[in-house]
Structure 1
Amino acid sequence: GIARKLASSGYAFFAMDYPGCGLSEGLHGYIPSFDRLVDDVIEHYSKVKEKPEFRTLPSFLFGQSLGGAVALKVHLKQPNAWNGAILVAPMCKIADNMTPPWLVTQMLIGVANFLPKHKLVPQKDLAEAAFRDPNHRKLAAYNVIVYKDKPRLKTALEMLRTTQEIERRLEEVSLPLLILHGEADTVTDPSVSKALHEKACCSDKKLKLYKDAYHALLEGESDEMIIQVFNDIISWLDERSRETNSC
């Protein structure tokens, strides 16, 4: 629905399944290298932007949750390649209640060197934490392309390392930003979205916090909340697109 909504507002929308995710090839739910994943994303969208019909148009990154971390890493590798980024509950830091205790984490890091693909990382029910609407929680169980098992060791380690790196480099974020986060999100930490908004070195940055909203702002909330979030995104895009085209 996200692609259709933005396309109906006049924007070309391109998406991809990361290797090992969705319908892409690779072991399901396995990320052996987050940097390699980011390089795949850069290669994919570089080819899209090379097409004659898109070369002169402004281009924006859009990332939700894990995709927010990917978008930030893409920007940090390509500081001048994009006209802005929309980050929805970005994974700048995994919420403390979703990560194992420190000692368990250290043990898992050691085991990951020998059993990187094993599903040994303890995890709470993501659907319950992500979706405010109980009906969406039930429907999540029927989505056959979504990885619903315990995280694989190497995947969990790469996500942890990536969020730690992003948290250290918030001051390097320099492109126009729209950050959207639910105040009741217990999957990714909204306090780090606040820190990103404060520390990013760009002057054009906006943070929208939604009272009582959970992690899945565009899927698991009431229709009224989802419409509000979409309107905030489209208004921001319209304003930045006009500014870019007038330069």
Structure 2
Amino acid sequence: MASSEPYTEEWLTGPASTAFYTRTYLPPPSSSSSPTTPSDSPNPKAALVFIHGFIEHVGRYTHVHAAWAARGFAVFAFDGRGFGRTALDAAHRTRGSRYGRTSAKEQMLDVAWAVRSVRERWAGVPVFLMGHSMGGGIVLQFAAGGGDKEVVGALAGVIASSPLLRLTHPPLGLVRWAGGKLGILLPDQYIPATVKPETLSHDPQIVEDNKNDKLCGKGASLRCVDDMLSKGEMLVESGYNSWPVDLPILLFHGTADEVNLFDATKEFYEKVPAKDKTFNPYEGGFHELHNEPDGVKEKVIGDCIAWAEARLSAAPGSGSAARL
């Protein structure tokens, strides 16, 4: 890796002996809240665990995660099971890995592993969990009863960007029903499933980059697709009831998102019983608000960091929290 990059890369072994491609961003010494550790890495004021979206990878978030690090946060991001380099890097991937092959159950275990790994590395600092799109649905599901309760209880807050709760243009009910049945019979069957690059951002360069990105796939397993759609819908219909009332939540979504339904995020926000909840709508924003031009991405990223900073003093781990 070039020394000029703002992150370090590692292959780490996670649940089911899966090799995960990971990136870690550290704050510069000047933003450290404590003296540097013996390894010469600054001790962050907090940490962020990040979960990316469907058929993409963490390499698309360098500018986002570098901004968090510049404000004193450590960021741990990984290509999810079945995606990015975790699935496609022939030299490092786990034997038998296949693009798009994953499930909600495995994703919950993977998130718990990531959070535990971060808490072991930076004991005593608050940990936030953030996800975009499919990743947004995953982090909401994790907190709302799907994840390890001890891990959830140690989180300082959850951030969901354009979460997949309902699709803006959902398939016909019969198609969904058939897909669900086939997902039981043939869970690992690969099916085409794409996101139109033109719907991601108003920035033509982002669109072009996505079209040419070899780590962005064009499909996934039946189980992966059915799980992410059904779990998202369940969160809006009933899953919100299981949200821990003392766990802060930030939701944000563009009103012109043609991928995931803006109104579903708004509905979830209105229903979720969290004492501390925030919903930031961005008028006219497309699916990837963190990639929108004309100052939007800077505002979105800044708003997220400011929200987390405002909750540091009351966060679990802000004192001498025990390790998980």
- Give the alignment's TM-score, normalised by structure 1: 0.88
Please report how far the alpha carbon of residue 114 of structure 1 lies from its aligned counterpart in structure 2 after TM superposition. 4.3
Closer, same or farther: CA 120–48 of 1 in aligned 2, 3 Å: closer
Q: Partners in 2 of 1:48 and 1:120 — Cα distance? A: 34
Residue 226 of structure 2 corresponds to residue 157 of structure 1: yes
Aligned-pair distance for 1:125? 4.4
- Quote the residue 2:307 is aligned against: 236
Number of residue pairs the alignment of both structures matches: 239
CA RMSD of aligned residues (A): 2.0
Q: How does 1:86-165 map to 2 (within 5 A)?
A: 86-95=159-168, 97=169, 99-120=170-191, 123=193, 125-147=195-217, 149-165=218-234
- Which residue in 1 is equivalent to 2:276? 204
Aligned partner of residue 28 in structure 1, secondary structure: coil
Gaps of 5+ in 2: 1-62, 87-92
Question: Normalising to structure 2: TM-score of the pair?
Answer: 0.69
**Counterpart residue number, 2:64:** 2
Identity %: 25
Answering whether residue 132 of structure 2 is matched by residue 64 of structure 1, we say yes
Higher relative CO (Cα under 8 Å, sequence separation at least 6) belongs to: 1
CA contact (8 A) 1:94 1:163 kept: no
Which SS does the other structure have where 2:290 is aligned?
A: coil
Contact kept? 2:190, 2:220, Cα under 8 Å: yes
Whose strand proportion is higher, 1 or 2?
A: 2
Structure 1: where are the runs of 5+ without partners?
none
171 and 224 in structure 1: CA distance in 2 versus 1, 3 angstrom threshold: same
Deviations 1:166-191 (A, max 9, x none): 22211222310111100111211111
Matched letter for residue 85 of structure 1: V
Q: Structure 1 CA distance, aligned partners of 2:294 and 2:99?
A: 31
Give SS of 1:94's match: coil
Per the alignment, residue 48 of structure 1 pairs with: 118
Deviation at 1:223, TM superposition (A): 4.0
Identify the residue that residue 290 of structure 2 maps to in structure 1.
218
